[in-house]
Amino acid sequence: MKSELENKKCVPCELGTNPLNHSDIMVFSDILSDGWEVINDVKIEKKFKFKDFKEALEFTNKVGALAEEEGHHPDIQLSWGKVVISLTTHKIHGLSENDFIMAVKIDKL
């Protein structure tokens, strides 16, 4: 299933689309790499550590380029040696398959 997500492209959600339910979120979260945390069934988040600010910034720029490619944009916190990525689908106020697609692709960076 992980490789299926790697090969998918994010598709814009339409207004009125329901966010994933708890059971579906648990299925998707089981295929994510270690470090991703489900928060209140509304977002997923992971902290990435780096040796310095420059490496953290380079990673942030790669995530930004991926987000533009996919048309699905995470919230990113950048600080010295650390990047925190939060994914949610704002349009539906919860998690969608797109969030998990992005998480898998971010881990590949």
pLDDT digits (tens, 9 = 90+) for 48-58: 999 999 999 99
| Residue 61: per-residue pLDDT | 98
Mean pLDDT confidence for 11-34: 93
Q: Which of 30, 10, 38 is nearest to 98 (CA)?
A: 10
Predicted TM-score (pTM) of the model is 0.93
| Residue 86: per-residue pLDDT | 98
Phi, psi of 55 (to 5 degrees): -65, -40
C-beta of residue 69 within 8 angstroms of C-beta of residue 10: no
pLDDT digits (tens, 9 = 90+) for 58-68: 999 999 999 99
Q: Cα–Cα distance between 67 and 27 in angstroms, integer?
A: 23
CATH number assigned to the domain with residue range 2-7+18-108, chosen from the 4 options 3.30.1360.20, 1.10.10.10, 3.40.50.2300, 3.40.30.10: 3.30.1360.20
Residue 13 has pLDDT above 90, yes or no: no
| Residue 38: per-residue pLDDT | 98
C-beta of residue 87 within 8 angstroms of C-beta of residue 44: yes
Q: Cα–Cα distance between 84 and 76 in angstroms, integer?
A: 6
